[in-house]
Structures are given as C-alpha cells and as structure tokens.
Structure 1
Amino acid sequence: MPMTLPHRTLQTIQVGRMKSSCDTSSRPLKKDLNHLDFIRMKVVKIVLFVICAFNLNGLEAQLKYNDADTNFDNLLYKRAAKQYESLTKKGDDSQHVLQRLGDCYFFNTDMENAVKWYGLLFSKYENVLTPEYTFRYVHALKGVGNYRLAKAIMKIYTQKLDASQFTVEQLGDNDEKLDELLNRQPQFYISNLAINTPVADFGPIYYKDKIVFSSSRDSLRFETRLYEWNQQPYLDFFMADTIDLGSDLAEVLPFSEILNTRYHEAVASFIPEGNKIYFTRNNYSNQALGRDGEGTNHLNMYTSELRGGEWTEAEEVPFNNEAYSVGQPALSPDGKHLYFVSDMPGSIGGTDIFVVEISDDGSFSQPKNLGPTINTSGREMFPFVTEEKLYFASDGHLGLGGLDVFESELAQDGFEEPHNLGKPINSNRDDFGYIVRETTNRGYFSSNRPGGKGDDDIYSFQRLEETCSQTVQGSVVRKSNGQPMVNVSVELHSQEGTSLGKTSTDPYGAFSFDVILDCETKYDLKIGKEGFVPNATRFSTSDEKDYVNKVPMEITKELNKLIVRENGVLKIKIDNIYFDVNKADIRPDAAQELNKIVEVMKEYPKMVIKIEAHTDSRGSDRYNETLSDKRAKATGYYIISQGIEANRIESAIGYGEKQLLNQCSNGIKCSKEEHDVNRRSEFIIVKME
C-alpha cells in the first residue's frame, strides 16, 4: 500500500505511507459518487426490465459490496468495515471480505478487531495467503500482546518463506531473539508530555532552543476543517518551548501561517543554522491538489527559507513525483546529507529510507536507497541522524508490534545492523519519531500506545548510561553419547571464586542464569551430579552489549577410579579375568569385568588402548605365548562386539611368561598364589583426550 497521511500519524503517515483522501469538501478520489449512483440506478432498472424474477437481495448485496470497496479504496476504513461486517452477517466469509475487514482495522490500528478477522482469514485461507498477510497477522497479534501465538506463526511460516521475496525479520524462527527482546533490561525513563491533546501530536524536531512538531489540534482558524479518515483537523506545524531540563514542553503556538495550509503538513527538519526547513505536505500547489493517474494525492517534500523573520513560500524538491510519495526529511548534522522516506520505484518494501547529497550550490544528487541492511519488505520510516547513528522506525525488523524504534551505527560503507531500543521506548503499538541529544541522552519520541492523552502522543525520555551487560546460558550432555543430562547442578562463579548463582539443568539438559554479567570479564561454571565426575569451565564475556553467552559442557560417569597410573603407564584397572583351562573363551564373569572397559571407553570416545595378556611360567614357553595371544585377541573381539570401534584397540598381544612380575620363572618353586600374580590381562591407555 502506498504512503498515506493517516488517520493517526503512523500508519498512514504521519507522513509515511502517504496516500490521502484529503479534503472532504473536494470531489471524492477516483470516482464521482453522484455519477456512480446514477449508473447503479440505471443498472437496476435494466435488470428489472429484462429479468423480472431476478434476486433483488443478491443485487443489493452486490451494490453494498461495491460501496465497501469504494470506501476502502478511498481509505475510508471505518465506513468500509461496517459494510463488510454487514456482508459477513449475511453469510459472506469470502477471502476478499475477510482480508478487507482485517485490513480496515489494521490500518486504523484497531488490533483487537484486526486479530479477530485475520484469525478467521487464516483459519479458512491460510494456504493461499500472501506473505504480507502473515506479516500483518503477526503484527496484530503482537499489538494485543499475544506473543506466544505470534512466535508460533513466525516459526511455522519460516518453512514457507524460502520461495518468497517478501523478507522481513518478523517472519522467521526468532523465538530466542523475541524472548531476549521481551526480557531485556529497560534503558529509558519516559514521560507523557503535558502539551499532548486528544488528537494526533507527533514528529518532534529540534529547532534552535525550541521544538517543532505536528498536530491535529485546531489551529484557531475561523473554520475548522476535518480530515475524512479520522474526523480530526488537518495536521499543521506547532512550536513549543522546552522546560524542565528539556524533558517537557510548554507555550505551544502555530509555527508559521505561511507554511501551515488547509491540508496536511508534518515531519520537518532544519539545517544547522535554523534558517531553512524541509518538510512533508500533501502534493498541493496553486490552491489545488496534485493527483496521479488513479486520482491519488501523494505526499511531497518541500523546502522554505527564513528571510526577514518570515518563511518564504514553500518550493518542491526536484525528486518529488506525482506517482509516489516523498517525505519525512532528516538532515545530517553537517547539513550535507538529506535522508527521507519514499515508496518510489526501486523501494524494497512499503516505504524505504533514501538519502541524497546536498552540494554547496544547493543541488541534490540522485536518491540512493539505504539498502537491505536498513530497509525490509515492511515499512521503514521517520529517520533521524546524529554524527554517530541513524535512528528510524520499522515494522520489518524484529520488534514488539507495530512500528518499533531502531538505531544503527554509522560505518565506513553505510550503517551497521539495526538494534531494537527495547522497552519502554517500544511497545506493542506504533513507536516512532525518535530524536535525541546524545550529549545529554535526552530526547523525544512519538507513540499511540494505550495510556496516552489521545491519538498519537509525544513522550520525553532520559536514556540511562549504557552499561555493557550480558547473560549466560548453556547445556550439559554426557560425554560418552552426547545425550542431554537432567538435574545436573550448575553453579556460576566470579573469577575470584564468589558464587553468583545456582541452578539445575532441565529435561533437555539446558540451563540459564538471570544474573547480569559484566562485559570483558572472566567467569567460571561448575557442574556436578551424583555418580559423575565434577567438571568446570571458564568463559570470558565480550564487549558486545546484551550478548547471551552460550556455554556447552560435558559430564562423565564416575569411572576415574578405574584409570590408574602404574610405573608411569596409564591403564584401565579391573579385576582379573579368568579363562577355563587351555581355553580362550570369554566366560560370563570375565565379560562382567570387560564391560567396565567398554563403559570407560564409551565415556571417553577418543580413548585408544592396547591389550596385553600374560601367563605364569607353568607349561612350555611356546604354549603359554600362543594361549595368551589367543586370550588377548578374544578379549579385544569382545570389546569390539560391545560397540567400540576396532581402530580404538591399537593391538591385542599375548606375551606368555615373558613379562613376569615376580621370581616365579621356569624351575623356581612357587605357591599357587605367587603364580596367580603373573596371570593377568592389562589394558594400557595409548591415547586419551
């Protein structure tokens, strides 16, 4: 939908999507209603004459349908909504009617009713809807605070988005990002201004030591003209003094009788010297509204200079066009770059932010789109530029609902990834028109959130000193198989050893701490569980604000007592395994001991061993060597049969009586117990990580 001057500032602009039905005293846009009534009467007469039995109720419904569409096309959404609802009561639940009903309320920011009708629309036509309707439904759900369903739809729709060119961060698997945004620590104090009225007040901008803003309040003319969309007076510029350290406003007066006209003026920007203004107005000149080929009056950007204490008649900028809207100017601090909003050809979404360079002679370069880092398939609006940052409103980047305010750091080749300012600057309604003095961290913004004095209100804010803070979360798995471990105790410690918090892993092995961590600081995580070896890891936070550190950890079965070091050699120590006389078969009692080897090797998946089998000196040397070799290899085969990879057994060799542990060699008389010392199997660890 094109930019429009809305019933309230934002959604239709505020000077944002600027397509205006404008003056109720002028002829209707696109169609002459008297002529239309005449045609309808003629059609009815013809039908009655030709087919007397024609269904009059059906014809009446069709005429009402046409009336609703006409009102909708002329942006008369409240009137159209009543007509569409009348059709639904007569059983019409077509996709067209449900879409239009949802849109009527969405564009008027009545999110409760938008959710109702979009919900019905999705229940019947979900498989044939375009991405724009998923986008609007998600925004409407956020607008009523139903973040759970909004997240579910975002997650589901991610799988369907691949083939679409409609790309906004709102439609993606953003569960964690949205939760982080909802739970982020507030960085602002805000206050509703005393100067707000029951009608629209928005779009503040600095002008010398004062504030200029846009408002629908009656400007004290003899005849108050109302804007058809919302039955409020047309928007004009007003000026107010700053008081209370710049956090409140007072002494509101009309800004300029020359610049304020009978149509909409809204959203301005001044050059640093204050003697030149850029602003948005209906395409209006020579006492007439300019219209495109479809009868639509767009918004244009104008400029005026202060001469002798008076503003000159406004002049258009050269990149205006009757076919699209141009507005919401924002000058860079040096006055050399002019940012603005437009739906001109080449736009990525509904409205994009563009920039032109201003030469010393006052001429402009060709408009340049700020590109996909800033602009999305949604709406980007209300830019404000400082020496370091671009601030703007968007419903395409991930937010809390409606328009949210974002900031983007200035980089050498453009702007960095935008960052949502979070609550309380942003809400589940439209938040926009953010301006700030970064030396004091004070400023103003606009919002239509509940609890204000009227339509759009202006709020002041104090931004708290930014402190770099982070959080930590992670998971614990068993090292042997990678399975999540439940009920593992996790303790967070400072580098100095002070305990900062304790928690336990959930059924998915996950844990998290609400503790706020300092940036660029080291912390320790310690885990423990009965029957398992305690473990600890150290991690360091970065310098990235609001970053969530994710720390994976492993825990191992308490098998370390089986791993011993003998004479400088690391071994897995189990009880002796026994074989029947003259045999190498693995007996059940031997298997029970060998299973301990298997468990240790599963717990340490990169462990490599070698197997050595030994006999006593009874029997011939050759026989003992052959028998022990068979037993070593049988032992290796059993371990492999229990799921251990063959390449993790480096060798399995029998040494017979070559490596006796005592003096009981050939010809030496020894007791049975002394000979048994030499009958053994050894499991030597070659590699262990």
Structure 2
Amino acid sequence: MKRYPKTISILLLLLSCSIGIGQEKKSNGDNYFFQYEYRQAILAYEAERLTQPLTAQQQLNLADSYFKTNAFDKASDLYASLYENDSLMTGHHFNKWLQSLSKNSKKGRVNELLAQKPEYLSRELMENAEFNTALLQSEIASTEPDYQIFNAASNSAQSDFSPAFYRNAVLFSSGRVQNTKKRNRAGNGFLNIFVSGIRPDGQLAQPITFEGIPSSNFHKATPYYSAGLQSVFFVTSNSENGELLFDENGKNALSIAKQREGGTLQFLFRDLSTSFYYPFYDEGTERLYFAANFEDGYGGTDLYYVSTNNGQIMSAPVNLGPRINSPGNEISPFIFENSLYFASDVFYGLGGMDVYKSNIESRDAFSIPINLGEGINSAEDDFGLIMRNEGDGLLGYFASNRSGGKGDDDVYGFKLDEKPGLKTLTLRGIVSKSNRSSEKIPQALVRLKDSQGNILARTTTDDEGAYRIEIPWQESVTVESAKNRFSTYSQVYDEDELTSFEGQDFNISLAAYDDLVEEKEGQTVVKLKDFFFNTGQTSLIPEITAELDKVVQFNKDFPSVQFRIETYTDSRGGSSTNFRLTQNRSDAIKSYLIEKGVPSSNILYSIGYGEEKILNNCTNGVYCLEILHKKNQRSLIVVLNDNVLFE
C-alpha cells in the first residue's frame, strides 16, 4: 500500500478541501502538487527542470512529492541539496529527510546529522530520539504481551479512521461513497461520520450514518463524544448556506464544532485561514485538546489545548511543548488513566505515523513519549488510538494503513490485559544541599547504572536543581548523583522500591564540602562548634560527641579525607601534665571516631600539643579571665589532603 494515501490522516484527508481557487499557479508541477497529485507533480516538475531550473520552493515540492510516493532515495537527495544550500529547509522538512534516510537503511547518515545538532532539533527531541531508539532495541521490546488485534468488520474499501467511543458504540470517519456525496476540488469525496455498535467480542457491527450532528454535503470527521457534556466534538468544513467558505487566498479551512444532544450546533474554532483537527475533551481537567499548524509551532501539526468551562473556551491555545511536539506531525490526542496517547511521524518511529504514550507528570509536564512498539505500531501509518476498561482487560481501537486491510485506512480493534506501551522507569526530583535543603544544586550529575555497573542514562540538574531521567524498566538500578566539591550519592534499589517511586518525587541530598570546612590557624578544619572537656578530664561528654558525630558524617560524605586530630589546652598547670592531658584527649576523640565508623586509615595523626600554641597573652604567670583561658582550650579536626581532594 502507499505509505501516505490521501486519507492516511487528517493532515491529508481534510486538507484536500483547502485548494484555493485564488491561488496563483506557476507551473503544471505546482498545479498537481497543490492538488495532492504527487505522481503527476513529479512528472511535471522533472519535465520542467529540463528547460529551466526549478525554484527552491519547487525543489522542495518535488522532494515532498517523492517522499509521498515512497521514492525515499530521490527525496533524501533533494532534501540534502536544499539543506546544504540552506534554502527553505525547516524542521518539518528536516524530519522528512531523516525519515527518508531511515527508510533507505542509512541510519549512519541519520546519526551524523543528529550529531551536528542542527537548530531544528530541540534538546527534548534529542532526548526523545535517543531514548526511543534504545527502548525499541532493548530486550523489553520483545517481552511485552501480545495484542489480540482484529480488523473491524465495519471497514470499507475506502478510508475508515478516527474511532471514538459513543455509549456502547463507536463513531468513526469514513470516505466511503454515498449517493448524495459531493466532490471537492481535488476530485475526492467528502468525509462523513458513521456509527457502529460494539459486539460482545469487540467487533463492530454494520455501520450507519451518524445522525447526531447536522447533515451537510462537506467534510465531517474525527469525532469525539463527551458523556459528561452530552456533546459530540468534530471537525467540519467552513461553509454557509450550503456553500464552502474561502479566505482571501482561496483557502477553505476546517473548524471544530460541538453538537450538544438536543441543543444547537456551536463552532468552537473557526478561522477561514487556519484548520483545526482531532478534538479531544478531557472530562477531568475540562481541557479541549486538538491539533493545528500554527506559525509558532515546532514543525507540522502540533498538539494544543484550551481551558474550558463546561465546554466553553476560556483561554488561548497552549502548545504542549517540545517534549510532545516535534518537527514532524502530531495528531489524535487521547488521555486514558493519566497518560496522553497521540500519533506522530517523527523520524525515530517504526514507520510513518506511530502511536506514542506520555505520562502526565503534572498539569503541564509530560514524560518522554514512548513508542508503543510493534503490534499497535507497524512499518506503515498507525494513529487515532482509543481504549477503555472492559471486563478484566482493555478494549481499544485505532486506525492503520498496514498491509492486509480493506481500504486506504482501516479501523482495527485490540484486546489487552494491561495498558499498551513498553514499561519505563522515570525518576524526577530536586538535588539540594543536605544541610540546607532550601538551597538547590544546579548542574549536578544524576545517573543510573544497571547491576553490572553500566551507565543506563545520565543528566544534570537545571538552574533550580531539578532533574528528570527515564530509562527502560530495570529490576535493579543504582542511582548516583555528584558534583565537584560535593559529596556523592550512590544507592541500589530493587524492583519493589523502584515501583514505589512511580509518581513520586525522588529528591537527593548532597553535602557541600565548602559549607562543612573553614580556615583556622592557617589550616583547613572541619567546621564544628567549640566544645570543652571537663577540667582535667579526658572523657567525652554529650556536647563533645554531638560535634564529633558531624565529623563521622563528614567522613561518610567524603570518604577519601585524611584527618589530623589536634588538641590544645591553656597554660594553667604543668607543661608535661598538659601535654599528656591533650594527648589523651586526642586519643579519646580518635577512638570515638573509629568506633563510629571512621576508618583508622583516615586518621593519620592524633596529637596533643599541651600549651605549646597559646592564641593570646594568657601564658604562664599571666593573670587572665576564664573566658580568655577558654580560647586556648580547643580541639581541631584538620583535613590534611584538602588541596588534592578534588583534583
């Protein structure tokens, strides 16, 4: 079958009505191209460039025509020429170029282009591509449960697509011939909406024309039924009094309408120059999702939403962002159990349009969209997935132009025990300072390793200390985080623990070395509160051990540190007595630290200096207040290798 039949998706299905009568035609090639007659356009353009060079736009049209007709080698050559000349190439066409190369088994060239990181490709897109490529090649891709997929009995020899649940029935769009059907300017019949009952086995009964929306002779397609609003959303041609409406350039665009049961028809999006596709209403958030090709988008059609109040639009359209939208086309949004399903023809898929799933992590944040893999997806076009809970499992439908169907696009049903999609592990959260959690750590490394120590993925925190990392599911993972002059976090988690993290923030704390040390007496020491032994005593009282516990934690955070314990006293008493006293106190500190887990190899010296280093004038025979003598009674935990610790 053709890779892109005229009815593969709303992008080509419904745009066939937008051929403008006022559009200037520069050549026969242009005429055919704008009427989606791609094979004739190729012949015309090739003949024309024998007599005169094609314009850059015509070269791009010719490349697109080859792409639409599966001549991927010729398409990729033309896209390459346009790319090298920096002429008219957009992210949307760059995506087609990469698709052409992939179809020609030139993955090496694709990787070369991706390595150049052209401006067309966002950071999120690169992450999405890398992740899905690894996921589809992983062992988990071959261990997913088999789908029970069946071709719907309601399909015709024409195109049938865009299924939507309607009570115990399914609505769908169809290009099947009707006696009253008019033809658009491309010579194709207009689409209509049909309804089929759902049989106990999930099969669809003989369809009939859906009477729940006003009849017209023009396009009506891609329905969605909201039980809460008792309304059907659908796409329709802009028309008035039985005639199509065109903008000043001769374009007839597509609007989104809402028909409430027993009510009047209401147009929600209507612009003679802009088409809107695939409405989906989310009951929980009251958001109306749709696809459109606005100028500020990321490529072809992007997914957007508007906030509504009982179905009435209350906000401007919001783009779902570069995590979802790509330089390709994104269509057919559908939300089920906090996951967004949609179709995209982005270059790293299995074929043309593939269905992806992205978990909704917060109101406007999404996980990496995951290709659903073989079964739902194929080497051809797969789109418009819907599903619902049915008995002990799931019942769903989607459209595909895979081989073996009855028409250009067919509706397929499937049954499955659990939600489709390859299982992944997502960790997200904040990396902050352990002693001051309000202080976030930007540019901190976060990485995941498997049980053999291989790095599975890595990322760095943003300016707010936030990170997000996602990998194919693992039964055991080591989570690591680090930054220069900070401690290192490393912890192994098993499958049960990883499962418990799903949907929860996974925050990480790192100790900041520079917050834990200070300069004293010309050397780097662990930052501690002043503590004092009882007069003439060497035993460790609670206020001393509370400070020494900080040293124990410091060593855990920085296990390579090397210490020297120094203890001093004041000048009162004999010098030899003071020397023995401070030596015993240093030894007592050393014993405590070792008892609490500090390796003895980390404590290189334990020294008592007696009254050798008096810090003020309180020397032998000089009268001083107690507070001044106290200044000379001190213990320091010196970090000996401070200058090389982070080299």
TM-score above 0.5:
yes
1:425 aligns with 2:376: yes
1:464 positional shift: 4.0
Aligned equivalent of 2:317: 367
1:237 positional shift: 0.4
Task: Say how many residue pairs are matched.
Answer: 446
CA distance in 2, matches of 1:358, 1:379: 25
CA distance in 1, matches of 2:239, 2:170: 25
CA distance in 2, matches of 1:401, 1:395: 8
CA distance in 2, matches of 1:11, 1:122: 28
Query: What is the identity, as a one-letter code, of the residue corresponding to 1:241?
Result: G
Q: Deviations over 1:35-68 (max 9, x none)?
A: x8xxxxxxxxxxxxxxxxxxxxxxxxxxxx6222
* 1:354–1:369 CA contact under 8 A, matched in 2: yes
Query: What is the identity, as a one-letter code, of the residue corresponding to 2:289?
Result: Y
Query: What is the identity, as a one-letter code, of the residue corresponding to 1:455?
Result: D
In 2 relative to 1, CA 101–522 (structure 1 residues): closer, same or farther, beyond 3 Å?
Answer: closer
Q: TM-score, normalised by structure 1?
A: 0.56
Aligned equivalent of 1:30: 22
RMSD: 4.3
| Structure 1 residues 100-179: aligned runs within 5 Å | 100-106=61-67, 108=68, 110=69, 112-122=70-80, 126-128=84-86, 130=89, 131-142=91-102, 144=103, 146=104, 148-149=105-106, 151-162=107-118, 164-167=119-122, 174=129, 177-179=132-134
Query: What is the identity, as a one-letter code, of the residue corresponding to 2:110?
Result: M
CA distance in 2, matches of 1:387, 1:205: 16
CA distance in 2, matches of 1:394, 1:377: 10
Aligned equivalent of 2:407: 454
CA distance in 1, matches of 2:237, 2:133: 37
Q: Deviations over 1:130-183 (max 9, x none)?
A: 2443310222344x4x4x41x323311124334x24538776895674253155
Q: 344, 352, 357: which one pairs with 1:394?
A: 344
| Structure 1 residues 55-134: aligned runs within 5 Å | 66-87=27-48, 96-106=57-67, 108=68, 110=69, 112-122=70-80, 126-128=84-86, 130=89, 131-134=91-94
CA distance in 1, matches of 2:74, 2:407: 24
Query: What is the identity, as a one-letter code, of the residue corresponding to 1:20?
Result: C
Q: 261, 272, 292: which one pairs with 1:322?
A: 272
In 2 relative to 1, CA 315–158 (structure 1 residues): closer, same or farther, beyond 3 Å?
Answer: same
SS at match of 1:226: coil
| Structure 1 residues 466-477: aligned runs within 5 Å | none
Query: What is the identity, as a one-letter code, of the residue corresponding to 2:168?
Result: D
Aligned equivalent of 1:7: 6
1:458 positional shift: 0.8
CA distance in 2, matches of 1:11, 1:126: 32
CA distance in 2, matches of 1:323, 1:510: 50
Aligned equivalent of 2:164: 205
Uncovered stretches (5+) of structure 2, i.e. residues with no partner:
426-449, 457-471, 479-490, 503-559, 563-603, 605-647
Aligned equivalent of 2:154: 195
In 2 relative to 1, CA 442–140 (structure 1 residues): closer, same or farther, beyond 3 Å?
Answer: farther
* 1:333–1:385 CA contact under 8 A, matched in 2: no
1:306 positional shift: 2.2
* 2:387–2:397 CA contact under 8 A, matched in 1: yes
Query: What is the identity, as a one-letter code, of the residue corresponding to 1:425?
Result: I
1:415 positional shift: 3.9
CA distance in 2, matches of 1:468, 1:459: 20
1:13 positional shift: 4.2
CA distance in 2, matches of 1:66, 1:371: 38
SS at match of 2:218: coil
* 2:79–2:94 CA contact under 8 A, matched in 1: no
| Structure 1 residues 601-640: aligned runs within 5 Å | none
SS at match of 1:330: strand
In 2 relative to 1, CA 429–182 (structure 1 residues): closer, same or farther, beyond 3 Å?
Answer: farther
In 2 relative to 1, CA 470–271 (structure 1 residues): closer, same or farther, beyond 3 Å?
Answer: closer
Aligned equivalent of 1:332: 282
Uncovered stretches (5+) of structure 1, i.e. residues with no partner:
23-27, 37-64, 472-491, 494-502, 504-508, 512-516, 524-536, 548-605, 609-649, 651-689
Query: What is the identity, as a one-letter code, of the residue corresponding to 1:300?
Result: S
CA distance in 2, matches of 1:450, 1:153: 28
1:285 aligns with 2:236: no
SS at match of 1:441: strand
1:270 positional shift: 1.6
Q: 210, 218, 242: which one pairs with 2:177?
A: 218
Q: 330, 352, 362: which one pairs with 1:380?
A: 330
CA distance in 2, matches of 1:116, 1:468: 34
* 1:98–1:120 CA contact under 8 A, matched in 2: yes
In 2 relative to 1, CA 436–172 (structure 1 residues): closer, same or farther, beyond 3 Å?
Answer: closer
* 1:383–1:391 CA contact under 8 A, matched in 2: yes
In 2 relative to 1, CA 73–168 (structure 1 residues): closer, same or farther, beyond 3 Å?
Answer: farther
Q: TM-score, normalised by structure 2?
A: 0.59
1:442 aligns with 2:395: yes
1:273 positional shift: 4.7
Identity between Structure 1 and Structure 2 (%): 27
SS at match of 2:93: helix
CA distance in 2, matches of 1:403, 1:127: 29
* 1:384–1:391 CA contact under 8 A, matched in 2: yes
* 1:267–1:329 CA contact under 8 A, matched in 2: yes
CA distance in 1, matches of 2:405, 2:325: 29
Query: What is the identity, as a one-letter code, of the residue corresponding to 1:12?
Result: L
Aligned equivalent of 1:298: 253
SS at match of 2:161: strand
Query: What is the identity, as a one-letter code, of the residue corresponding to 1:278?
Result: F
In 2 relative to 1, CA 105–333 (structure 1 residues): closer, same or farther, beyond 3 Å?
Answer: farther
| Structure 1 residues 601-680: aligned runs within 5 Å | none
SS at match of 1:465: coil
CA distance in 1, matches of 2:100, 2:75: 10
| Structure 1 residues 487-526: aligned runs within 5 Å | 520=475
Query: What is the identity, as a one-letter code, of the residue corresponding to 1:344?
Result: F
Q: Deviations over 1:307-348 (max 9, x none)?
A: 2xxxx663311x432231223111113482211122235433
Aligned equivalent of 2:581: none
* 1:271–1:331 CA contact under 8 A, matched in 2: yes
SS at match of 2:32: helix
SS at match of 2:253: strand
1:266 aligns with 2:221: yes
Aligned equivalent of 1:50: none
Aligned equivalent of 1:275: 230
CA distance in 1, matches of 2:161, 2:43: 29
CA distance in 2, matches of 1:217, 1:470: 40
1:205 positional shift: 0.2
Q: 17, 30, 37: which one pairs with 1:20?
A: 17
In 2 relative to 1, CA 289–408 (structure 1 residues): closer, same or farther, beyond 3 Å?
Answer: same
Query: What is the identity, as a one-letter code, of the residue corresponding to 2:77?
Result: G
* 1:182–1:422 CA contact under 8 A, matched in 2: no
CA distance in 2, matches of 1:114, 1:341: 27
* 2:246–2:253 CA contact under 8 A, matched in 1: yes
In 2 relative to 1, CA 154–261 (structure 1 residues): closer, same or farther, beyond 3 Å?
Answer: same
Query: What is the identity, as a one-letter code, of the residue corresponding to 1:323?
Result: S
CA distance in 2, matches of 1:470, 1:125: 36
CA distance in 1, matches of 2:231, 2:493: 54
SS at match of 1:178: helix
Q: 170, 184, 191: which one pairs with 1:235?
A: 191
SS at match of 1:233: coil
In 2 relative to 1, CA 169–11 (structure 1 residues): closer, same or farther, beyond 3 Å?
Answer: farther
